Structure 1
């Protein structure tokens, strides 16, 4: 019974304050978020899109948006960070992971809107990912990212992620976080 509590808590929205006092809601992503996702990705800077998708993408395709918002909340999880704007909710960040076939590890990604970087949102999103992965019994999170993504490197090091160059591609770095360590 106690194993169900963390999962239930992770399926609800949480409200957090960013540095500077802005209130943000972090909640599970759903298919209904497709237009928020379209607007968010379209408004990312070219560098932010390159870091997130490992290459340049222009306008996100409908197929990509459907893939990103069709989350089973079991093998694949995603959380969206939103604020209340003049026209309703506005997405300002997101985090996600997809479990490997054995269920012991999961590849993860975090992206924060350009105007919202350096406000503590990345740290909140990474914390939510770690909490969710631990609740599911995942033992390790990992991510392969551009070596010149210095913002991510800073966040990863603050959380104690291991970092090493990708032996197959020196332009990339592999981050890994052991979830079994306390």
Structure 2
């Protein structure tokens, strides 16, 4: 499967339907959204930030925030999950992922705002990431979590991930899953763009 350059489509957006019928929008972080993203992380509970960054952290450092908002830098991407709340777009979750073409692997990490947890947002976001992994040409995806993070462990099990020992840190657990490159039942803009590119190549 031919990998697609997502930088050519920096604002592509996915609209996902949650189990309660509400719409969750997943899109790349904008270069002008550093303050909004920092505000999101500051509002997370201490436990949620600890789980997301695998250690104590109150906010992103200036350099780390710069990496988040520069989508595509070093083949790493950041997306936000947003919903309308009282007429305003609100960040309810985020994810950061990277693709290694040499190993065909897709690494990711996610978080969900404490006030919006247990509404199916994490499952929807994880499914969207699986589609993005397939569109990039990944053969497997993986993430790391603290062994104490019961919520992430339960979500990964539910989503079909298998757990293995982390290669470097006994406090962490690694969960991974093979990716079907021809799977089309998880819609996302990345998949549509990749499919269109493959069709164009066949025509040529």
> Is TM > 0.5 for Structure 1 vs Structure 2?
yes
The yes-or-no answer on 1:125 pairing with 2:137 is no
Taking a change above 3 Å as real, the CA distance of residues 85 and 54 of structure 1, as seen in their structure-2 partners, is same
Partner of 1:150: 150
Q: Deviation string for 1:123-178 (max 9, x for gaps)?
A: 11111111011011011111121001111111111111111232543321011111
Taking a change above 3 Å as real, the CA distance of residues 10 and 34 of structure 1, as seen in their structure-2 partners, is closer
Q: Which consecutive residues of structure 2, in runs of 5 or more, have no partner in the other structure?
A: 184-204
Are the equivalent residues in 1 in contact too, given 2:25–2:81 (CA < 8 A)? Answer: yes
Measured in 1, the distance between the counterparts of 2:167 and 2:76 equals 27
More off after superposition, 15-24 vs 62-71: 15-24
Q: Which consecutive residues of structure 1, in runs of 5 or more, have no partner in the other structure?
A: none
The residue correspondences of 1:15-54 to structure 2 (distance < 5 A) are 15-54=15-54
Following TM superposition, the consecutive aligned residue runs of length 4 or more in structure 1 with deviations greater than 6 angstroms are: 6-10
Aligned residue pairs total: 180
The yes-or-no answer on 1:106 pairing with 2:106 is yes
Which TM-score applies when normalising by structure 2? 0.76
How far residue 90 of structure 1 moved from its aligned partner, in angstroms, is 1.6
Bigger fraction of residues in strand: 1
- Larger Rg, first or second structure (1 or 2): 2
Measured in 2, the distance between the counterparts of 1:73 and 1:86 equals 34
Partner of 2:170: 170
Aligned residues: CA RMSD: 2.8
Partner of 1:97: 97
